[in-house]
Structure 1
Amino acid sequence: MAETLTTPSSTTTTAATAASLQAIVAELGEQFYERGAVVRALMASVLAGQHSLLLGPPGTAKSALARELTSRFTGARYWEILLSKFTDPKRLFGPIDVAALTQGVYRQLFEGRATQADIAFIDEIFKCSAGALNETLAFLNERIYHPENGGAPIACPLISAITASNELGEGEETAALYDRLLVRLEVGYLADPTSFAALVRSAVVAPVQPVATTVDLVELRQAVAADVPAIGVPDGVVDAICELRAQLRRQELIVSDRRWKASVRLLQASAYLAGRPEADSADLEILSAVLWDSPAERRTVERTVLQMVSPDAKEALDLADAVAELEAQLDAMAGQSREALAEWAIKEANKKLARAGKRLAEMVRDAQAAGRSTTTLEQVAAKTRAVHARVMVEALGVDATMVQAQV
């Protein structure tokens, strides 16, 4: 059973816990290249008591990231499983006690299974077997398990589950699972050659890791059950959510009322992570990971959300589109001669990317001076640097280890 919280945490304790969680996000953002925004969204999902999905091809550090994040919650009972179409439900929730069965007693052993987990990682979530589906849904949604012997439902202490998959599932069965995953994050292979070079180098010489920041289970539960729900949600944010819903509906993107309601706690978690007593428009950015169903919808949702959040967003996203077009041109030129690549890079790509990078740096400084969120600007700037680095390496033949200082 989950611990019962009987007294509210002090302001000092709340601030200290929030600071530790912020430190964990920062540390993992440094450790996992090009994953800073993903780490923050995963942490917000945990603090909101919601479940998340990491969607991407094999070899993108989905499992490693989930394990590293969950390891920072000391005292938490952790459970992990890799699902397949043949996974027996008892592997998830508890095998039969064979010794008791020989005495004519039918019971399950729950130790070390999902039924006793505070934090879970479920890999290949959409391969959940038909036999385990209903119990998995009840586990994720209601935090209960119905024992094999038909006894009363067992309350599970689960705070949050991180799930992963190489691809989306198909059919109504997996759609029900997908709906339980509030935060949906696409992860791809590293885009920046300098990040890739650092990754390769780390296989030879492991980077020195500082002492890892941790948060105790009791502190985490206090944050989830009391501190995050206490974050204010002013009328201006409610109005913005209503306007966002209307804008998405005009684009024929319909989000269920249940997901809209659940997303409010995610906004509170985002504000808590930022050290603010109430949510503001900057927290709406995290809804870019909530309001899409198919990956094809993600870009539209992201653009709609970000244009509401920041006056800088439209120009930044236009720059992002221009950068994406240059990257597509670079991909299309694969196989051409180095001379052709160099000519294109010198005459077109290099200049455009340099101008975009300079403009984004100016926008970041202006936003900081005005006290506005710079998250979107920094993400677009990082993508611009990554594409610029690719051009330098692939078209101009610059050593990847020397690129970072030049872009």
Structure 2
Amino acid sequence: MASASRVYLSPRVAPLLVLGFASGLPLALTSGALQAWATVENVSLQNIGFLTLIGTAYTLKFLWAPLVDRYAPPWLGRRRGWVLLTQLLLAATIAGMGLMSPSKHLFWLSMLAVLVGFLSATQDIAFDAYSTDVLRKDERAAGAAIKVLGYRLAMIVSGGLALILADRWLGWHNTYFLMGGLMALCAIATVLAPEPEEVARAPRSLALAVVEPLREFFSRKGAVTLLLLIVLYKLGDAFAGALSTTFLLRGAGFGLSEVGAVNKVFGLAATIVGALAGGALMARMGLYRSLMAFGLFQAVSNFGYWVLAVLGEPNLPFMALVVAVENLCGGLGTAAFVALLMALCRQEFSATQFALLSALSAIGRTYLAGPLTPPLVETLGWPAFFATTVVIAFPGLALLWWRRGEIRALDAPERQSQG
């Protein structure tokens, strides 16, 4: 493990911690933190509800990803140029939100938050493309893990810590100024980060930037089944997590503070440890074996919730263990899954292809697990539901086994050349 963990010290992997932090910083500032600010300033519930639409850009970012593939600012290369530009604009717009207040300037504050969301989604497009391009094949899982770690740390800072700072020390205006300053500091890491070892040529026209990513992907053997694998791989995990908090409160009988503490502490820590461990292990195991092993761990870990459901009375230490194991296995699976998305992208079109593949990966969580979980729970009850989530995970694993040749080929060439 010690030798495998050295991959995190790679000059291509380490900067992704700060860049991942910059990627995650704006989200809470335009969602949870902004809603909290509006709430304490007595904005109406209806208007607060409209603020949830601010995050639409994250869902639709694949629409302008071809622009990021086709064009580039005249500095720092094709990917880092976009990352730096969006970071500097984000620093200014986040700080600009601190010049307003929800009770007096709700419309203009909302419009600025929409701009922050658009710039943040654009930064994500460029950052995902950069990490896909810059990492060697045996560094992808480690890079994915570092991205997850940076993103989660940013969510803590811009979510929980920002609320504490605003309430006790700085006030809301100065808190947003501080967050804008943090984003500006992250731009330093972008300047210092290395360029990819091989720089692909941009598409010759915008039309090609739109059409060629799809044409190239669907020209591959098993393209449709690979897309189905992306939808199915974490589907069991998505079903198990969709109402996990509701289950712990209502189905297992734990208190709000107990669930909050365990989810925030054990859940977050276990996810980070799982992602980092996944990145280190995958450097030795390769893409296919990691996806299969971690996918099995994800599926089996859902049995912990089944045990909680049949116990009949709250058991806090066991609940903490279940949450920790489930999040640990989820972190392992996430590291391998993001590495798979990177591996499926061709460098010329990595911005567009990664944006499309990541949007596709959200289909199961958003359009299947979300709507279908409540009726399944009502029909089956909690114990049978969690047993069913284990079964839901296996079609994705079967599809992974079926396409094992294509998956192994994604990282075989470089592994052979290095060995």
Would you say same fold, with TM above 0.5? no
CA radius of gyration, larger in? 1
The structure where strand makes up a greater share of residues is: 1
Q: TM-score, normalised by structure 1?
A: 0.24
Q: TM-score, normalised by structure 2?
A: 0.24
The structure where helix makes up a greater share of residues is: 2
